[in-house]
Chains A and B, each alone.
Chain A
Amino acid sequence: MTALLETKGVWQRFGGLIANSDISIAVEPGEIVGLIGPNGAGKSTLFNLIAGVLPPTQGSILFNGEDVTRLPAAQRCQRGIARTFQVVKSFETMTVIDNVIVGALIRTTVMREARRKAYEVLEFAGLAARANVLASELIPSEKRRLEVARALATEPKLLLLDEVLTGLTPVEAQTGVELVRRARDTGVTVLMVEHVMEIVMPLVDRAIVLDLGKVLVEGKPADIVRDPKVISAYLGDRHAVGA
């Protein structure tokens, strides 16, 4: 089976700072993969590289076997990569449904069709009741769900979720977990960044841990949580790891 997404030796430097160093990961179709790691580990940067916000300093990114390293973000979305932003970026002066229509318009230019599709996605995401409300009037958890809905409306093959469950109440987070699961059940592959281990670990099939821009370990959630390297990275005691 060929991987849906593959990064090959990807580097990202910001001046003297190395945000991603030699990252090679693969995501198989149908998986939910967790990307975890402490603050500043380079998770969002890797998302930006995969989504095409900026080209990597070095290395290449393959999607569905195609080299997309130099493709702009809009074209990657066309290929089937959709993402949410860690800091939500709703279209604030537009209604909830109009936000989602923007996403739907990449697959159809017939407005009636886009509108129908958008409404369908809103129902899927549990936001249908808020369809005609301005995005600026949503509460934070709804805004996160809107980001997911908007991304789903583009009919992605790969969905990149950047901390969509962070900062939610336990009940809201559980709803979010369900949403991610249902999205996967419709055939979407998910790569998600999350901080809160207790929430992500039961959800993901596999986890990749980043630390200081490098892949620290990857594997089954159960093994990851017990890995001493991971524990020390999270506790910040990096010297505890035998160098």
Chain B
Amino acid sequence: MDNSFAQRRRRDLLLAAGFTAVAALVPLFVKDVYVQNIMVLTLMYAALSQSWNILGGYCGQISLGHALYFGLGAYTTALLFSKFGVLPWFGMIGGGLISAVIAMALGYPCFRLRGHYFVIATIVIAEIAYLLFLNWDWAGAALGIDIPVRTDSWLTFQFTRSKLPYFYFALGFCVVAWLVTFWLQDSKWGYWWRAVKDNPDAAESLGVVVFNSKMGAAAVSAFLTAVGGSFYAQFVSYIDPESVMSFHFSLLMALPAVLGGIGTLWGPVLGAVILIPLTELTRSFIGGSGRGVDLIVYGTLIVLIALARPEGLIGLFSRKRKGASR
């Protein structure tokens, strides 16, 4: 029996440790606040896309409604803190749990839908939630929530003077999302998910409980996504439905994985590192109303990828290892 599998796992871990170490050192040399801001967002989207990838990539249930979980994380944290003085860390866990439960409640009917119908359902549901929050007065409605400023500390998770703590949190988040994926990938769940994605009938015949697999993937994915939303609320310190629940976020979570390599361990990170700086630069280059333009950029990239390398950019690295289970 060959041990190429174990070797590959070890190599992935070493690579991750190396990248993390390098990333951790970057802020020592890059002092520009604008660039640091982009780095924080890049790490955040890498982690978010990694979370999205668990459901969309591994399990094959393409969601374009993850903005819902992102928003729930952000809102739970912001509301608990501004209304009840509950520390953001509890909001983060709470938002994660709420999202996981809601993901399963929504999955109950939606996972019976196949293919395009599922995708459309996710879009519609997220849009409904967006409209609900837009009209929910207690949650600030369209005006949103200004998170009250306290002293800078890790306890309140507020830092007005420096971006660095956010950077390191985002890096940690990214590492955690990666490790969760790394661990799940070589677990019963990981195999079940990929089997469900490739052929649900065959999976069921081999003892895979397809429905439960999807539910599990949805819960993990939604939990992690909400943690990201919670972080984002602290990072920008002001949220409204438009800034945390719009369709735009759903796209930004899915695209890095699609670009880098859907259902792969490294795809989301690779995709985010390319896509997010590109997005931010386009936005600042065009000016305040760059949102429409970055959508054009994504669209173009995705079409190019779909045509040239449907397995994502990660395929460029693994051509030699064709057939390796990534």
Contact = CB atoms under 8 A, between A and B. Distances in A.
A83 B205 contact: yes
Interface in B189-212: 191-192, 194-195, 197-199, 201-210
A95 interface: yes
Interface stretch (B1-9, B69-77, B97-105, B236-244): B1-9
B207 A53 contact: no
Interface string A75-93: 0011000110100011111
Interface centre among A51, A101, A106 (most CB of B within 10 A): A101
B209 A115 contact: no
B300 interface: no
Contact of A90 (B192, B199, B263, B325): B199
A6 interface: no
A68 interface: no
A89 B202 contact: yes
Contact of A133 (B4, B263, B323): B323
A102 B192 contact: yes
Contact of B201 (A77, A89, A101): A89
Interface residues of A, number: 39
Interface string A29-56: 0000000000000000000000101000
B165 to A, nearest CB: 37
A116 interface: yes
Contacts of B1: 115-116, 119
A137 interface: yes
B188 interface: yes
A82 B203 CA distance: 11
Interface string A109-148: 1010011100100000000000111100100000000000
Contacts of B5: 115
A106 B206 contact: yes
A98 interface: yes
B206 A151 contact: yes
B324 A77 contact: no
B199 to A, nearest CB: 5
Contacts of A207: none
Interface of B: 1-2, 4-5, 186-188, 191-192, 194-195, 197-199, 201-210, 263, 322-325
Q: Top 5 A-B pairs ranked by shortest CB distance?
A: A106-B207, A89-B202, A91-B198, A77-B207, A73-B204
26 contacts: A74-B209, A74-B210, A77-B205, A78-B207, A82-B206, A85-B205, A89-B201, A89-B202, A90-B199, A91-B195, A92-B199, A93-B194, A93-B198, A93-B263, A94-B325, A95-B325, A98-B194, A98-B325, A102-B194, A105-B192, A106-B206, A111-B187, A114-B188, A132-B2, A150-B202, A151-B205
Given A97-B325, A151-B205, 12 more contacts: A73-B204, A74-B204, A74-B207, A77-B206, A83-B205, A90-B202, A98-B194, A106-B206, A132-B4, A132-B325, A134-B322, A150-B202
